[in-house]
Amino acid sequence: MNNGEYESDRGNTVDSDSPSNESRRAFFKTTGATILAAPAILTSRESSAQAIPDESLPPSPPTRPWQRELPEEVEPLEQTDLSEDAYPPQGVANTVNGECGRNDHQRWDDFFGAHPLESGQADTYELRAEAITDYEFHPDYPKQLVWHYIGKNSSGGDYHNPTFHARYGRPVIVRLYNELPDNHTGFGTPEISMHLHNLHTPSESDGFPGDYFSATKAGPTLSGPGQFKDHFYPNVYAGYDEFPKSAKNPVGGDKREALGTLWYHDHCLDFTAPNANRGLAGFYLLYDELDSGDEHDPNPAALRLPSGAYDYPLAFQDKRFDANGMHIFEEMNSEGTLGDKVTVNGIIEPVLKVASRKYRFRLLNAGIARFYQFHLVAANNVQQSFTYIANDGNLLPKPLLNRKNFRLGVAERADIVVDFSLYPLGTELYLVNRWEQTSSRGPKGVKAPGMKVLKFIVDREPDEPDVSQVPAKLRPIRRPTATEIATAPVRYWRFERKNGMWAINDKFVNVRSAGANMAIGSFEIWELDNPSGGWSHPVHIHFEEGLILNRYVDGIEVPVPVHERGRKDVYRLGPNEKVRLFMRFRDFPGKYVMHCHNMIHEDHAMMVRWDILG
């Protein structure tokens, strides 16, 4: 395999076609047709539109690489005992004491009883969305404004965009205070709706886009403003009704449905791109008996994947800076602002010093519109191997061994295990992105050597022998039966742009009206189609994950890539691509959304509300 090629996973063949090659092929196919097919020609020309460089902005000023180090360990967010708060969490919104007018928490009484939360009933946390005025992305850029979620670290200090460690069977309640300045000027809006992507979380805690709040403003699907909002994350497996809680099933739900790598971010209607790009994003890691977060776990069922300091989340965000090194986002540009600098956990071109042992990295594309094809390379650009274990936070049935690259659409996640014990101390490795992209419409060709975004230095022996492992089997998967597939109603969704407007099935977001209603407990096949030549749409479905049954390019079925054969919540639709998904709709009635996770598209109405009817 050449340095620039993508492991397409398409069956056993190596398909080096990059998306741009595919669209070029489509172009020649159409130009071969009769001259009367003028509209098709225009279409093909649109399909190559992504090759247009975004010359409307000068590049961000250069930065000296590898100036800052990431911490050796990402510690978990500390709890705050909300049961001791003057206003302990309760099922009904505490609007008289400052909570915004959310809907009642579903199943509150089942989980906690008909009273406010009592001590020990849940893991409780407090977050504050705050404006930070002296944040440093890179020492070559001035200190400047960001918006972060602030929690508490183990020494009681501020913990920016903290990483949750949650556990199936232990419900979590997060109280989010909005302390953003309501007179803020510039990009972003100081009203927020925190979405936890993609927990099986009831609608009122999902971070529905219309549920944005501040002390002076209430989103259209809230009943009133407030200083804070409580989020109830049950941390039960999907299928809670079908596989009830019992002595043999202490968590409740189908444990095959477990998620591991989740993230939370602002999802304010019309303003997700500027708000999330201001910095409102973090990780929520979820463990259970199998993926227990303990490589020493004596339980024979436990996978014993690398844990603790060696279980490391990495969030990538593309950002653009002006000539003075200040972060910019052009709200007046209909296609938004594509970043040309990539922050890793908030830092441009950082270094991570690692011990010579196995690490589990959880990589997240938390940006607006940029796609990545990541390669791990040595200093001489030779690709290095790793093991791919999870996509979109779901452990695959079996690990994918000896992988050399992978792709991440916006909001997509990949868990990989890298064994640094293969390298002598002092070895430097780089994570590089080789997927070229010059406009927010989507990526184009793959090109080596690519852009280095993160440097690893193997700088020490581990404190103790590495007992972690990657077993040959990870988490079993529940596939639909042939009968279920044969009987499932098929629902078609077309993602397209027309007259400068992004639409789903010719319609635009309407947060008070559902575009589809699902009976609770039902299942359907959803077809997601992107027939519009020049655009990539990473489509995200809230709340329920899907299984890809089929994939199509230019109407021709192609094998589903191996890493996409687990459950997913983001479906990357390149130009002229279509997927068929099997979806179940379970447990928590209410309103959810499906949208393009290119945040520019979602902010400009490429979103549909869908409901589960209880």
Partner 1 sequence: MNKENNEPVGSRREILAGMGLAALGLIGLNSAWQKLGFNEIKPALNPNIRKYKPADSATPFPNVTLYTHEGEAVRFYDDLIRDKVVAINMMYSQCSGICPKSTANLREVRNMLGERAGRDVFMYSITLDPKRDTPELLKQYADRYDIQDGWKFLTGAPEDIELIRYRLGFYDVEEDVDNIKENHTGMVRIGNDERKRWSMAPALSDPWQIMTTINHLDPKVVHTAEAHT
Interface of this chain with partner 1, residues 315 to 334, rule: CB under 8 A = 322, 328, 330-334
Q: Rounded to 5 degrees, what are φ and ψ at 594?
A: -125, 140
Choose between 70 and 608: whose C-beta lies nearer to partner 1: 608
What is the maximal distance between C-alpha atoms in the chain? 74
Fill in the DSSP letter of residue 264: E
Establish if 383 lies at the interface with partner 1 (CB under 8 A). no
Taking CB under 8 A as the criterion, the residue among 153, 227, 381, 510 binding partner 1 is: 510
Count of residues making up the chain: 614
Estimate the share of the chain in helix, then strand, then coil, as percent rounded to the nearest 5: 10, 40, 50
Residue 242: count other Cβ atoms within 10 Å of its Cβ: 12
Establish if 216 lies at the interface with partner 1 (CB under 8 A). yes
Q: Contact region for partner 1 (CB under 8 A) — 244-252, 458-466, 511-519, 566-574?
A: 511-519
Taking CB under 8 A as the criterion, the residue among 3, 5, 6, 27 binding partner 1 is: 27
Question: How near is the Cβ of 533 to partner 1 at its closest, in Å?
Answer: 5
Choose between 39 and 157: whose C-beta lies nearer to partner 1: 39
* 358-365/311-321 β-pairing: parallel
Question: How near is the Cβ of 462 to partner 1 at its closest, in Å?
Answer: 49
Q: Contact region for partner 1 (CB under 8 A) — 119-127, 240-248, 471-479, 529-537?
A: 529-537
Establish if 506 lies at the interface with partner 1 (CB under 8 A). yes
Q: What is the spatial distance between Cα 66 and Cα 61, in angstroms, rounded to a whole number?
A: 16
Establish if 150 lies at the interface with partner 1 (CB under 8 A). no
Please report which helix (H) or strand (E) contains residue 108, including its range: helix 108-112
Taking CB under 8 A as the criterion, the residue among 172, 251, 269, 431 binding partner 1 is: 269
- Give the tokens for residue 445: 């060709």
Interface of this chain with partner 1, residues 545 to 604, rule: CB under 8 A = 555, 603-604
Which residue spans within 297-408 are E strands per DSSP? 311-321, 327-328, 341-344, 347-348, 350-355, 358-365, 372-378, 386-391, 394-403, 405-408
Q: Contact region for partner 1 (CB under 8 A) — 217-225, 250-258, 419-427, 471-479?
A: 217-225
Question: How near is the Cβ of 466 to partner 1 at its closest, in Å?
Answer: 50
Are residues 262 and 255 in contact, defined by beta-carbon separation less than 8 angstroms? no
Question: How near is the Cβ of 422 to partner 1 at its closest, in Å?
Answer: 44
Taking CB under 8 A as the criterion, the residue among 10, 128, 167, 217 binding partner 1 is: 217
Q: What is the spatial distance between Cα 237 and Cα 244, in angstroms, rounded to a whole number?
A: 10
Establish if 238 lies at the interface with partner 1 (CB under 8 A). no
Helix axes 38-47, 19-31, angle to 10 degrees: 160
The 3-class secondary structure across 412-439, one letter per residue, is: CEEEEEEEHHHCCCCCEEEEEEEECCCE
Q: What is the spatial distance between Cα 311 and Cα 361, in angstroms, rounded to a whole number?
A: 6
Are residues 54 and 441 in contact, defined by beta-carbon separation less than 8 angstroms? no
Number of residues that bind partner 1 (CB under 8 A): 73
Question: How near is the Cβ of 19 to partner 1 at its closest, in Å?
Answer: 16
Site string for partner 1, 181-200 (x = CB under 8 A): -xxxxxxxx-x---------
Taking CB under 8 A as the criterion, the residue among 14, 92, 501, 613 binding partner 1 is: 501
The number of C-alpha atoms within 13 Å of 541 and in the hemisphere containing its C-beta is: 22
Question: How near is the Cβ of 492 to partner 1 at its closest, in Å?
Answer: 5
Interface of this chain with partner 1, residues 431 to 460, rule: CB under 8 A = 439
Interface of this chain with partner 1, residues 28 to 87, rule: CB under 8 A = 35, 38-39, 41-43, 45-46, 48-49, 51-56
Strand partners for 217: 214
